[in-house]
Amino acid sequence: MLSFQLQHSQASRQAAKAAALGFARTISSSSSLTRAPITLRAGCAASQQHRLFSSTPTHQLRDFFPVKETPHIQTTKPAWPHEGYTYDEMLAVEPAHRPPRTVGDYTAWKIVRFARYCMDKATGMDRDQKSDKTKPTTAIEAEKPLTEAQWLIRFIFLESVAGVPGMVGGMLRHLGSLRRMKRDNGWIETLLEESYNERMHLLTFMKMCEPGWFMKMMIIGAQGVFFNSLFVSYLISPKIVHRFVGYLEEEAVHTYTRCIKEIEDGNLPKWSDPKFQIPDIAIQVSTYQHSYNQIFNIDTSLVLEDAKRAPYDEGLDPLHQG
């Protein structure tokens, strides 16, 4: 009986080897005609499996979301396209800061500042950064410049978190409109558009950097905590949440203006290179002049958008919440 089982297992192994050998021969014989596509598909599959839990920081331009060739999926225009800004308009941005006045304002401001401190510690940004006294949200000098890889990790984490509040607010107001059987008068579309805008920022930076497994786990944890915290907070006091988002946008302006300053000072040689091209998704979402297709254009555009949205979000809280 034992000898029969051994013979049966050996026969199964030989059959498996023969099947694998036959499959390999089939691939090798057919690869002479379609060798490039097979290599490309295999490489994409291997890279996707490697990217899921990769501890190797491969900070380089790559197509993290490869386009799938299928007749049922067509490229369409962005749902909420951004207006194109000229180079002079982007440089003329003057970020503003709304000083806290009420207890809710101070609460939102301190929470944002604490989150900023934690993020600075996690991404290696020094605390001795200097700011313009008249514009507290604008960084003008730093003793320890970050590298391109550190900036991309910071941008990706920032945008992955910044896209949560708009979705939470839009979802809750959508459900409230259904319960009360009343129109929302544009709040839902406004908040969802803001969430969509932040997601487009994230997809832009994802074309330039691939985070490792630790970064992905941090994003998953932060999203879970942030979403549920905002969900409960928005049910209690939507006004404080909108003020919180406004201060969060101010901190985003602070981050991007510091990056712009380091690009101008030549501390980021890769991004300072005029030949460096920004991802196509950034050009599709926002209209850029082709002569300025650089990372500097992305940062200045984000400063303009966040600087415009900061007082806008802060201005939502005094409005009637009904």
Please give the mean pLDDT across all residues of the chain: 70
At 46, the amino acid letter reads A
Distance CA 245, CA 169 (A): 11
| Number of neighbours of residue 127 by Cβ within 10 angstroms | 9
Is residue 295 within 8 A of residue 231, CB to CB? The reply is: no
Q: What's the pLDDT tens digit per position in 16-34?
A: 444 444 433 433 343 333 3
Report d(CA 201, CA 203) in Å as an integer.
6
Evaluate whether 95 touches 253 at the Cβ level (below 8 Å).
Answer: yes
Question: Count of CB atoms within 10 A of residue 68's CB?
Answer: 7
Q: Which residues carry a binding-site annotation?
A: 159, 198, 201, 249
State how far the alpha carbon of 194 is from the alpha carbons of 41, 73, 169, in Å. Answer: 35, 25, 10
How far apart, in whole angstroms, are the C-alpha atoms of residue 195 and residue 199?
Answer: 6
Structure confidence at residue 54 as a pLDDT band (50, 70, 90)? very low
Span 181-187, average pLDDT? 87
- The predicted-structure confidence for 189-203, as pLDDT tens digits, reads as follows 888 988 888 888 888
CA dihedral 113, 119, 122, 128 (to 10 degrees): -50
Tell me if the pTM is above 0.85: no
What's the start-to-end Cα distance of the chain, in Å?
80
Annotated binding site for Fe cation: 159, 198, 201, 249
